Structure 1
Amino acid sequence: MDTPPAVRARGLTKYFGEVVALDGVDLDVAPGQIHGLVGPNGAGKTTLLGLLLGLAVADSGTLEILGTPVGRALAVPEGVAGFVDGPGLYPSMTAKQNLAALARLRGDDAQTMNIDEAIDQVGLTDVADDRVRGFSLGMRQRLGLAAALLTKPRLLVLDEPSNGLDPAGKKHVYGVLTRLAADGTAVMLSSHRMDDVESLCSDVTILSTGRVAFTGPISKLASEDNELDYRVLTSNPAAARRLARQTNGIKLHDDDLVHDGVELLVISAPVPALDEFVKRLVQDDIAIRELAPVVSPLEAAFLALTEQQENNE
């Protein structure tokens, strides 16, 4: 038998009074996939994550989690873990005591055997016996992830998991999520940081005013964006500018930048025109020292899609 999707939602709608938080949302998340959820404030991200964790129920539509239909609150199947709006922790307890208490609440004494391992995975071994009240935001996020790991989840739902993380903490968290996905766990995470989503996620869903503006592979999203702005640093800016003018599809900006006294060209181009421009630079023996989008493809497409949908309201 084929493995059922971790999440399959069709037409999810959720009201809070007269406010439409979700408006006909479709969503598919496969096992082993890290799926990003992005959107402006008030787009419905937290509401959707809450439905996946069983904290609320949709007013209409269907939701299946790990192959099980979910039609009421607190009815998600075993194997779902995560947090929304930050993990719930006991500040007067140590990190270890928090995890032990959560394991006891679940009624599974065997899970306490994994506490040291879970703490180690998120990089908190050195503070395992410290009280949580003294933890930074990033340390609390990592402890919340450790709590979720105790259940050995098949679907992990995380709300802004990189909040407050320093580079070392982010490395630990990213490593954990990547290993979980490699072992078949589906990860659904929301983030305001496009670089986090691009580095971690294979697929993304963009919400705008409660509706899906896009869902699918990030590579497809980037390719659908017709034109991006790029900054280009070469060994010969004057020659590069000349070639840019001669390449169909390349638009030169007047507001060039200067980096360490060297001129950077700013161009707008679709991918085929950019490829042709790079080919010409190489053929003319002009070294390319930097070529990067001014904003990431995901961020550019995100802004375009959300602005378009809001203008259609």
Structure 2
Amino acid sequence: MDRPFAIRAHGITKSFGDVVALDHIDLEVGRGRIHGLAGPNGAGKTTLLGLLLGLATADGGRLEILGTRVERALATPRGVAGFVDGPGLYPSLTARQNLAALAALGGHDASPAAVGGALDEVGLTEVADDRTRGFSLGMRQRLGLAAALLGRPRLLVLDEPSNGLDPAGKQHVHGVLNRLAEQGTGIVLSSHRMDDLEALCSEVTILATGRVVFSGPLDELADRGRALDYRLLTSDPEAAGRLAEDTAGIRVVGATGVRPDARTLVVHAPVPALDALVDRLVRAGVALRELTPVVSPLEAAFLALTEPREAVR
């Protein structure tokens, strides 16, 4: 049996005057899955997120959310939560007061226990009684997530939820999102950060100039990166350089480091050639200390898919 869908969109179009923001978009997000949404500025991501949250209506196409067809604004079924362009908060209220007010407006449980639980889940208990006008961007993002959690969402739509987060805060938010997915919540995560998408998403849709240029498993997208530049740090840089130059499919791009014994080679190669080089290094007794892509495979594929296109919005 097919996995139930949190979102099924087919042929979605949206224009603003003469500007086509979304051009026949197809999107499917399964319940319990974290689906990434990426694209350059002006690709149409914000417009699409607005449609999913019921903030606007598509001009054409078919949109189903949580099994219900959506044909007008503010008509999304219960169980949809999230934010676009950052959460809307009352700066003069404390974090606790904000959540209580937002819960009441949304018809959700506004009890102290529910509000306190949401604050604890996103790691804001210690600042619960501080006014939000003094909150950092990262703290505001976490409070917006807490507000979304009050409705026990079955579909969560988030726009750059890791903005402004330090490493500990980002790890905390990632943990929350993974737990929600394990409990069956479908999540759409829009982000410019490839590391967030790689850490959280099993699938990704990439938009460019209002069109889908890729949609599918993250692994399949990364495979399209083909040959990449890699940093190669070994116990013997000179021997490693000779072996690299003698390995089919590998081109030595350069070397970094001020000391000859600490130089990091930069090589350009597809994965099979890189595997062959690693095997030759091991056989030659050269210790491999670091092997990392200069640009991640996902980011390389993203750039290859979107750079030739010109954004429209």
TM-score, shorter chain, exceeding 0.5: yes
**Residues 93-172 of structure 1 mapped to structure 2, 5 A cutoff:** 93-109=93-109, 113-172=113-172
CA contact (8 A) 1:32 1:182 kept: yes
Q: Structure 1 segments of 4 or more deviating over 6 A?
A: none
SS in structure 2 opposite 1:82?
strand
* Offset at residue 238 of structure 1 (A): 1.4
Q: Is the 8 A contact 2:51 2:58 kept in 1?
A: yes
TM-score (norm. length: structure 2): 0.95
Shift of 1:93: 1.0
Q: Deviation of residue 256 (structure 1)? A: 1.7
Residues 228-275 of structure 1, C-alpha deviations (whole Å, 9 max, x = no match): 11110011111111211222111111x321166611111111111111
Work out the percentage of aligned pairs sharing the same amino acid. Answer: 69
Pair 1:284 & 2:296 matched? no
Distance 1:71 1:59 in 2: 9
State how far apart, in whole Å, the 2-side matches of 1:296 and 1:257 are: 19
Matches within 5 A, 1:218-297: 218-253=218-253, 255-258=254-257, 262-297=262-297
More divergent stretch after superposition (25-34 vs 260-269): 260-269
- CA distance 1:111–1:63, change in 2 (3 Å): farther
Contact 2:104–2:110 (Cα < 8 Å) also in 1 = no
Structure 2 distance, partners of 1:252, 1:135, is 48
Q: Which amino acid is the alignment partner of residue 72 of structure 1?
A: R
Aligned position for 2:62: 62
Shift of 1:106: 2.2
1:24 alignment partner in structure 2: 24
Distance 1:163 1:110, change over 3 A: closer
Matched, 1:78 2:78: yes
1:25-40 correspondence runs (5 A): 25-40=25-40
Deviations 1:113-140 (A, max 9, x none): 4211110011100011111111111111
Corresponding residue for 1:49?
49
| Distance of 2:224 and 2:9 partners within structure 1 | 24
C-alpha deviation, 1:97, in angstroms: 0.9
One-letter amino acid of the structure 2 residue matched with residue 258 of structure 1: G
Looking at structure 1, the residues matched to 214 and 131 of structure 2 have their Cα atoms a distance apart, in angstroms, of 42
How far residue 308 of structure 1 moved from its aligned partner, in angstroms, is 3.7
Mapped to 1, the partners of 2:291 and 2:278 lie a distance apart of: 9
Amino acid of the residue matched to residue 43 of structure 2?
Answer: A
The structure-2 alpha-carbon separation of the partners of 1:109 and 1:297, relative to structure 1 and needing over 3 Å to count, comes to closer
Amino acid at match of 2:45: K
Structure 2 residue identity aligned to 1:52 = L
CA distance in structure 2 between the aligned counterparts of 1:159 and 1:146, rounded to whole angstroms: 14
| CA–CA separation in structure 2 for the residues paired with 1:74 and 1:259 | 61
Unaligned runs of 5+ in 1: none
Partners of 2:153 and 2:196 lie apart in 1 by: 22
CA contact 2:8–2:63 (8 Å) conserved in 1: yes
Distance 1:278 1:32 in 2: 38
256-265 or 168-177, which moves further after superposition?
256-265
- 2: CA distance, partners of 1:72 / 1:233: 57
Q: How far off its partner does 1:148 sit?
A: 0.2
- In structure 2, the CA distance between the partners of 1:158 and 1:245, relative to structure 1 (3 Å rule), is same
Residue aligned with 1:73, SS: coil
Contact 1:31–1:186 (8 Å) recurs in 2: yes
Bigger drift between 90-99 and 102-111 goes to 102-111
Q: Secondary structure of the equivalent of 1:196?
A: helix
C-alpha RMSD of matched pairs (Å):
1.6
**TM-superposed deviation, 1:174:** 1.1
Q: Aligned to 1:6, what secondary structure does the other structure show? A: strand
- Which residues of structure 2 form unaligned runs of 5+? none
How many positions carry a matched residue from both structures?
Answer: 310
Question: Compared with structure 1, are the counterparts of its residues 260 and 16 closer, same or farther at alpha carbon in structure 2 (3 Å cutoff)?
Answer: farther
What CA distance in whole angstroms lies between the structure 2 residues aligned with 1:90 and 1:288?
Answer: 53
SS at match of 2:263: strand
